[in-house]
Structure 1
């Protein structure tokens, strides 16, 4: 039997007395799972690099790791609203872990092929499409409203730490014991994440919906919840624009390191590490600060910081590589601060019963912005020069952030918490 505290969660319902214990248990499992996933993904990329020696194969690997999440996230959002969120996350983690274990056995047997590795990435990406919306929909049920920014940032912090340490851990295991060892570790950490979720006390993990309707109806309601709220619609456009402009620069920065600054593979890895450290630093900053009472200005300022860093990075002379590393680190710190308020802002206006499907659609659209941005950035950078393209992107981000800061529906999201909540 649960004992209840006097505090209420972000959806206005009583929290268990030891709600912080549930957070610690869940995120311990998630920390190990995310770290192992990063290690395994990097090991897959390295395995394909050494086995295939093909840029086309690597590009197909990237598509397999990204596209299923973008396409299936709306359905993951519907599932989060229909079913028990705890068991949905466990099913997603368990499926990905089981597939990794099968791949490990095939690797030991010497029958692992590129097609099977692509299948692993597709399954993992598809699982993330259900895991992500369910976890995001569960967040407002776990913590008080004042901690919504912190809990969202905690998730980012885990991802940042894993982005820094995961590849190194994956390569260490790959070098010492082979590819199968990385996959076994991934499966074991997925099992730990499932166990932590299974034992955590989550009184509000079940769906509040009683009526089961068609999938098309649920998706229309999710779209209607976004389109019917001008503030949420503008927030979606702002996030998509930022993703479309900035995220492809992370893919293109190794080429700028090589072509403009004359760096090698080690130099490119230093830029990657700086980005991960920047994400971590930005996440820790927001966790310590909490984001304040007005989150829209945080979004705008963070977006402009990213833009200024891109401009600086594009204007640097060839001998200023250390300054470029610092600029990219600060840009990714700005990205961490930019991401932190998004879920709390949406949570103030979206009906909890529809939150999963809204986040699924939101995640799908923002994820699709990344490959679209790459499709635009490649030819544009070739035509203008990569350093000039960094400057163009930085200026566009600053202008867009200024424009969005003048948008009244977006600013109104900051005033929604007390008056327009679904309690």
Structure 2
């Protein structure tokens, strides 16, 4: 695992990746995929409802950012420990506990809304609970892949799970936007239905293998496990570069999702239904690209995919700032979703392929810290948007994303050149 990135992605090193239907015939992966579907639908639907509820309660971009700030701080603190849990404990147990927490956070807000006692601070508390749950769920789910699918198919399996997430983003936000806008008790329906689906998600994990830890994890302290994982990453320039680049792009570009309610209501006057359309549109672009990536028979230059996707994502976020009409924003968001999905797929595939299985959970925990960081960035960006205008902030986010990708290319340009040579020889 100490070789160059190119050594992990040349087509001669691994057998041809399995296609989606072949992967789904692997029973543990099929169960993991079904579990992700149930969780994705419920979480994405309630995310739309919670953002809209926060906007109704406060009417400010800063408040929208505050919900993500609570999520981000908790994620930033807990995700490294979630990675330790994924490597140290049975992964099935980790999944069950985390999905149970997600169900509890959904039920809490649903009941508070039903009894008309909902307050803004409750949304902050629910965001913290959800962040803790994701902090342990995400690393365990991704680490499971190294155990249940062939190594040469890791990229396609990652792509399938990410496409699954984006399909959930198509169905969940679209349904939530319509229900919230058309039904008086739409908020309550979304949250309580999500809690029921998440309870079902806990049941689906019973059919999964236990995912027992490997190596000597049981004889080290959790802090020792975390320290060992960080040292492992720092010993590899390739892993380090992929992690800081993923962190930077996610923190700079992904906060656009926090501002979609304002894009819909303030920029284009389309309300909650328009918010659902915008959220679903980004997911549609992601699904199309993800399905194409999942059908690849050869991985080719994964690093080149990583770079191109990051540049496309950053440029599209910048274009969103100057979209003149609602339908122009819809077209731009197709590209935003496609670029983000391709970037995240390539990043996860490279990280899994370059690391030892015993460290997969901790590395995924470090990856997910970036999603906590984007939540933290959303609050100051939201306050800045209130002060200078949302379009200026979106434009700056796009430029910042492009600068991060430019720095990655400069740092890794020698490795990228060697990868191209090896790919041509292969």
Describe the shift of the 1:207–1:190 C-alpha distance in structure 2 as closer, same or farther (beyond 3 A).
farther
Q: Is the 2:303–2:416 Cα contact (8 Å) retained in structure 1?
A: yes
Distance in 2 separating the partners of 1:35 and 1:409: 42
1:333 Cα deviation from its structure 2 partner:
0.7
- 1:152 maps onto 2:158 in alignment: yes
2:279 aligned to which of 272, 292, 315: 272
2:245 aligned to which of 238, 242, 247: 238
Does the residue aligned with 1:273 lie in a helix, a strand or coil?
A: helix
Describe the shift of the 1:118–1:397 C-alpha distance in structure 2 as closer, same or farther (beyond 3 A).
closer
1:38 Cα deviation from its structure 2 partner:
1.9
Distance in 2 separating the partners of 1:255 and 1:24: 38
1:128 aligned to which of 134, 141, 156: 134
1:380 Cα deviation from its structure 2 partner:
8.4
Tell me the equivalent position of 2:349: 344
- Residues 293-308 of structure 1 mapped to structure 2, 5 A cutoff: 293-308=300-315
Describe the shift of the 1:22–1:214 C-alpha distance in structure 2 as closer, same or farther (beyond 3 A).
closer
Distance in 1 separating the partners of 2:135 and 2:167: 21
Distance in 2 separating the partners of 1:42 and 1:377: 17
1:77 aligned to which of 74, 83, 96: 83
Describe the shift of the 1:153–1:381 C-alpha distance in structure 2 as closer, same or farther (beyond 3 A).
farther
Which has the higher mean CA deviation after the structures are superposed, 100-109 or 150-159? 100-109
Q: Is the 1:84–1:207 Cα contact (8 Å) retained in structure 2?
A: no
- 1:325 maps onto 2:330 in alignment: yes
- Residues 17-28 of structure 1 mapped to structure 2, 5 A cutoff: 20-28=26-34
1:127 Cα deviation from its structure 2 partner:
1.0
Q: Is the 1:249–1:390 Cα contact (8 Å) retained in structure 2?
A: yes
Describe the shift of the 1:382–1:292 C-alpha distance in structure 2 as closer, same or farther (beyond 3 A).
farther
Does the residue aligned with 1:341 lie in a helix, a strand or coil?
A: helix
Q: Larger Cα Rg: Structure 1 or Structure 2?
A: 1
Which has the higher mean CA deviation after the structures are superposed, 169-178 or 118-127? 169-178
Which has the higher mean CA deviation after the structures are superposed, 75-84 or 374-383? 374-383
1:187 aligned to which of 195, 204, 214: 195
Could you say which structure has the greater relative contact order, defined with CA pairs below 8 angstroms and 6 or more residues apart? 2
Tell me the equivalent position of 1:143: 149
Matched positions, count: 397
Q: Is the 1:100–1:183 Cα contact (8 Å) retained in structure 2?
A: yes
Distance in 2 separating the partners of 1:274 and 1:177: 25
Distance in 2 separating the partners of 1:312 and 1:103: 35
Tell me the equivalent position of 1:375: 380
Tell me the equivalent position of 1:358: 363
Describe the shift of the 1:218–1:93 C-alpha distance in structure 2 as closer, same or farther (beyond 3 A).
same
Superposition CA RMSD, Å: 3.7
Which has the higher mean CA deviation after the structures are superposed, 139-148 or 76-85? 139-148
Which has the higher mean CA deviation after the structures are superposed, 334-343 or 206-215? 206-215
1:401 aligned to which of 385, 398, 405: 405
- Residues 71-110 of structure 1 mapped to structure 2, 5 A cutoff: 71-101=77-107, 104=110
Describe the shift of the 1:49–1:394 C-alpha distance in structure 2 as closer, same or farther (beyond 3 A).
closer
1:405 Cα deviation from its structure 2 partner:
3.0
Distance in 2 separating the partners of 1:211 and 1:29: 27
1:112 Cα deviation from its structure 2 partner:
5.4
- 1:222 maps onto 2:229 in alignment: yes
Distance in 2 separating the partners of 1:395 and 1:47: 30
1:144 Cα deviation from its structure 2 partner:
1.2
Q: Is the 1:37–1:186 Cα contact (8 Å) retained in structure 2?
A: yes
Distance in 2 separating the partners of 1:143 and 1:282: 22
Distance in 2 separating the partners of 1:32 and 1:287: 21
- Residues 276-287 of structure 1 mapped to structure 2, 5 A cutoff: 276-287=283-294
1:359 Cα deviation from its structure 2 partner:
1.7
Q: Is the 2:98–2:136 Cα contact (8 Å) retained in structure 1?
A: yes
1:156 Cα deviation from its structure 2 partner:
1.6
Structure 1 unaligned blocks of 5 or more: 1-7, 11-16, 416-423
